[in-house]
Amino acid sequence: MIRTLLISASALTLAGCASINPIQRETATEAGVTMPDGYDYAAEVAALSAPEQAWWAGFNSADLDALITEALAANNSLAQGLANVDASRASLKTANAAFLPQASGSLSSSSNTEAGLDDVDASARLSASYQLDLFGANAASRNAALANLDAAVFSQRALELTVQSDVAAGWFNLLSAREQLAVARRNLEISERIFEIVRVRYEAGTISGFDVSSQSAQLANARARIPQLESQITSQETALAILLGRVPQGYTAPQSDVLTIDLPTADPGLPSDLLLRRPDLMQAEASLRAANANIDAARAAFFPSIDLGAGLSTALTGGTNLIGSLSASVAQTIFSGGRLDAQLESAQARREAQLAAYRQSILSALRDVDVSLKAIEANAAREEQLLIARDAAQEALRAAEIQYQAGTGDLTSLLNAQQNYFDAANTYVLGRLDRLTAAINLYVAVGGGY
């Protein structure tokens, strides 16, 4: 009987091979996306160095190194992601178990009610079974589980890159807010100094009370900026603490000068490199492979399943004879009300949706790199002009203050010069922050380090 079943199964396998497609690894071209030869703004960074594993090391900040190291060890989102990877790994073990024989054992005993415990019949049985994967159902399930594990790992890598960039951006924003606070405090000192000059001149009778009122308003506005910036610093510092897995109360981030942090560079490489560097693209590609494997599993459900079995049994009372048995069974769904067809159609639709998502991810990644490259170029040119504007505004304020103190200038010109200097100094800090942020964005756009 077993020989007949195996011959029949072989015939069914030859007939069904044309219906089961091997899982294909999708490329960008196969997904319908033609990768460009280069980025539009790559010429501006042709001399840049290649990315490192620890991409943030390019900022040459030991404090940043320590912050990101701590976040990678203690961030709760990363811990959650690792648990998801473990769950996917367990699912793969479940799929692999289908390729191993399944064994079970049983013990039983009985007695008639008249003899009680004096007449007990006991027996034991050991059985094993194995499912032949002639039509690839188990292989397809294993391939899907393996692809899902790959997707979970790449998702974790993408999450790590997000945490790394969030820590770097959060710390730079905090340093920028601290520098803005320093600018605001210097502006307050200037306002207080000018107010003292106005007061002296008013008491001498050389100016009217209008100048006193005007400078009082300027002084009050300068003081009002301080608590607002202090509140922003608290908000950013506590957000950074959470990224590090710390309790936000009582946390103080390291001090550093945002204006002196090195500006790193990163080689964007070729557009085709993104497919092997960006974890989100590798995750999308792995999810597409899982979708293809699910189609194969749905197709295999149309074919019969074949199980081989063997067993040993013995009576534990009244003798020790062993009784062996062999079995083979074939099960084929004859009518399922369209359930199998629906499962296949659903798997195919999910594959098309995953393919569209993969295409969209590639296009978005290409855009991210070009936008980041252009931002680096634009922000570098912008910061250069902002520095000139800040220094010029500082000279103008110094001249206006001297003129007003000497009685040759008016208060309105002095207040305008002060406001211009404050705005220029503040904008320069934000310009440096934009350059640092653009560098982070480029690293993220190209997938961090290898």
pLDDT in tens, 404-445: 888 888 999 999 999 999 999 999 999 999 999 999 999 999
- Which of 58-62, 97-101, 107-111, 319-323 is predicted most confidently? 58-62
Pick from 103-117, 332-346, 403-417: least confident? 103-117
Q: What is the pLDDT of residues 155-177, one digit of tens each?
A: 999 999 999 999 999 999 999 99
pLDDT at 11: 35
Report field, pTM of the whole predicted structure over 0.95: no
If you write DSSP's letter for every residue of 418-430 in order, what string do you get?
A: HHHHHHHHHHHHH
- 226 vs 127, residue with greater confidence: 226
* Distance from C-alpha of 383 to C-alpha of 431, rounded to nearest angstrom: 5
Q: What is the rounded average pLDDT of the residues 176-198?
A: 94
pLDDT at 340: 84
Say which residue the tokens 């074919």 belong to: 303
Task: Indicate the average pLDDT of the chain.
Answer: 83
Give 117's pLDDT tier (boundaries 50, 70, 90): low
Does 5 have pLDDT greater than 50?
no
- Burial state string for 375-392 with b = 16 or more CB within 10 A and e = fewer than 16: bbeebeebbeebeebbee
- 357 vs 336, residue with greater confidence: 357
* Distance from C-alpha of 156 to C-alpha of 143, rounded to nearest angstrom: 20
If you write DSSP's letter for every residue of 82-94 in order, what string do you get?
A: HHHHHHHHHHHHH
- Which of 238-242, 314-318, 408-412, 442-446 is predicted most confidently? 238-242
Does 60 have pLDDT greater than 70?
yes
307 has which bridge partners? 131, 329
* Distance from C-alpha of 447 to C-alpha of 274, rounded to nearest angstrom: 7
Does 256 have pLDDT greater than 80?
yes
pLDDT at 318: 62
pLDDT at 419: 94
Does 324 have pLDDT greater than 70?
yes
Pick from 105-119, 296-310, 325-339: least confident? 105-119
What percent of the chain has pLDDT above 90? 42
What percent of the chain has pLDDT above 70? 84
Q: What is the rounded average pLDDT of the residues 133-150?
A: 86
Which residue segments constitute the domains of the chain, with CATH numbers given?
A: 29-100+139-299+344-446 (1.20.1600.10)
- 8 vs 259, residue with greater confidence: 259
- 151 vs 128, residue with greater confidence: 151
Does 7 have pLDDT greater than 60?
no
Q: What is the pLDDT of residues 258-276, one digit of tens each?
A: 999 999 876 777 777 788 8
If you write DSSP's letter for every residue of 246-311 in order, what string do you get?
A: --STT--PPP--TTTS---------GGGHHHH-HHHHHHHHHHHHHHHHHHHHHHTTS-EEEEEEE
Q: What is the rounded average pLDDT of the residues 125-135?
A: 79
- 19 vs 395, residue with greater confidence: 395
DSSP 106: E
pLDDT at 427: 97
* Distance from C-alpha of 188 to C-alpha of 222, rounded to nearest angstrom: 5
- Burial state string for 160-189 with b = 16 or more CB within 10 A and e = fewer than 16: bbbbbbbbbbbbbbbbbbbbbbebbeebbe
- 447 vs 314, residue with greater confidence: 447
Does 380 have pLDDT greater than 90?
yes
Structure tokens at 16: 């069904």
pLDDT at 233: 96
Q: What is the rounded average pLDDT of the residues 238-267?
A: 91
Give 132's pLDDT tier (boundaries 50, 70, 90): confident
Pick from 43-52, 92-101, 258-267, 422-431: least confident? 43-52
Does 75 have pLDDT greater than 50?
yes
Q: Which run of H or E residues covers position 341?
A: helix 339-406
Does 123 have pLDDT greater than 80?
no
User: Within its chain, how far is the Cα of 286 from the centroid?
Assistant: 15
* Distance from C-alpha of 370 to C-alpha of 105, rounded to nearest angstrom: 64
pLDDT at 10: 34
Contacts of 242 (CB under 8 A, 6+ apart): 248
Give 392's pLDDT tier (boundaries 50, 70, 90): very high
Q: What is the rounded average pLDDT of the residues 364-373?
A: 90
* Distance from C-alpha of 299 to C-alpha of 276, rounded to nearest angstrom: 31
- 413 vs 205, residue with greater confidence: 413
pLDDT at 266: 65
pLDDT at 48: 35
What is the number of H-type helices and E-type strands within the chain?
9, 4
pLDDT at 95: 85
pLDDT at 37: 56
